[in-house]
Structure 1
Amino acid sequence: MTSIHDVARRTGVSTATVSRALRGLPNVSPQTRELVQAAATELGYVPSPSASGLSGGRHRAVALVIPSTGRWFYNRVVEGADSVLRAHGYDTFLVILAANPHDRERLFSNALLRKRSDAVIALGIDFTVAEKRELRELAMPAAVVGSAVPGVHSVGVDDAAAATAAVEHLLELGHRRIGHIGGETAYGMDRSVGEDRSTAWRAALARHGITPAASWHGLGQFLMPPAKTAAIEMLRSPDAPTAVFAGSDEMAFGVLVAAAELGLRVPEDVSVIGIDDHDWSESYGLTTVRQDPYEQGRTAARTVLDELTGLETPILTRRSGFELVLRRSTGPVPSTPTGARATDR
């Protein structure tokens, strides 16, 4: 069955533009309207009644779909998106993913989204194949903050590059025993973020001829408590690392607490680095790779607003910048192995 996404792919414009062109709405050039109508006829596409959910501002609201309200990153993205949308007269409302995977069925084809919103921004979600298809076929503007979804506007940091910058900093300080606390297993969240950062950690070590021990990798679920548990086990091992790269600042906080409980000094006994530049990172003295989720949210909001106002924009994947922020949690490799110090104390 031919979908609006098929027409958009054939013509090279967004699904929102296809919908406007076929419904005779303004802000579509005659050339584009003719191109879309020809493609729809050729493909045999007939707009469904639900396609009328696309609005030129009828609802004046944008849905923000998030895995959780308990994460700093999501909150900052939401705040950034809301700041732009409200300035243009749009309200926002949250759609929080159900804890039960079965309750997520047909998430983006849910009638509630169509009845209440003009556009959708989805944040850092571990999309299923069906959800990616639903997102592409929405008859309204859509954007993703996080890993790219083919056929949908995407905004996010280059996770592999950011992780590489963190590990290279530790390598430049002389560390060769570099552990990693990753977030690959967090439910509902985009797994590729944690996976890309973990892969980059291994790749950076491999380029320096280093094969990490199994005990140098732990899972922190992008949360402080499980990261602390994983870090305690890692830092107690006989071959404990002299430095730890955490895949997020919240997990890095867990590593710092674990080191303190084990009587290890940071950075004299073990160095710690994260990614994000969380609001608390400066207070913790945490060296980190800063990204800007607030600006990512603003960029996603501007993207859907462009479509709502009739701009014909090609599908883009925008990568935001990052920078290494040096604080007191990283230093040269210690003269005495970390595990030995932890055992002696």
Structure 2
Amino acid sequence: MISRLALTPGEPAGIGPDLCVMLAQKPYPETEIIAIADPVLLQQRAERLGISLELIPFDELKPASSLSPGKLRFLPAGLNHEVVCGQLNPANAEYVLDTLRIATDGCLKGYFDGMVTGPVHKGIINDAGLSFTGHTEYLSALCEDAYPVMMLATPDLRVALVTTHLPLSEVSQAITKQRVQQVASTLHNDLQRCFGIAQPRIMVCGLNPHAGEQGYLGREEIEIIQPALAELNSQGMQLIGPLPADTIFTPVHLQQADAILAMYHDQGLPVLKHLGFGNAVNITLGLPIIRTSVDHGTALPLAGTNQASLGSLQYAVKIAETMVKSRLRERSGN
């Protein structure tokens, strides 16, 4: 069976369009990739990069089929203003959100099996007067306020987050028993559904240095995190912790873990990005759809220069393919 993945390039002035054009040069015999983008932008970027590209309109009534390298299916979204490589324009912010809406709607209606997203520039979207804190939160709203969980992954490490894009001063207040349990349960369930791990082992970070040092460096571990994990473990999950974040990423722990659950963004992600930046993937768990993304930003200075790296996007497609197959196996009972 050939799966269908929607691909949104993200910020048009960044490297997202470059990556779409470059990806189209690779063979994907088991996947049909559909770029949700302005076709003129894709063609112009291909010409700038000196890459041959044949654009083919997407027809949801036709069965999925892969394309030979050099060809790319597209579903059009129209730009408001001409794009200059490396130069942000708030007039095109609505276009970026349009591509996400089209891709998400297609997933919800069953036209696509999943979506892969390129890098966006949050600042320019907000400068345009549009409220946007990130893909994770935006897609949650489009999916009728599902409870999303952000997880980044490399081939050797998965890190999920209890809190995402919050100022550090607000993190402690956001760590509640309910939130820890919701995130941990979603992580556990999607490791089973989307990755085929029958009984996931999840190592959980403490919030404070040394996981609170028995309450001397903070009591969140004793009063919130430990009770939350204990209840879930009594239901059959395997949640180990809370453990000190400065030692949880050592080999002795990682070799026993299917995933690490960190309390906040910069507790877990620096380690993962040090390990695999450029070859990592951002995965949104807890949605009714499959969504993966690159692990990097828009790289405005590299747009149109032929210097962008395709590694993270290729890995995002690979993981999306894996998740699609795992969900299909689960639904079929195999």
TM (normalized to structure 2)?
0.30
Judging by fraction of residues, say which structure has more helix.
Answer: 1
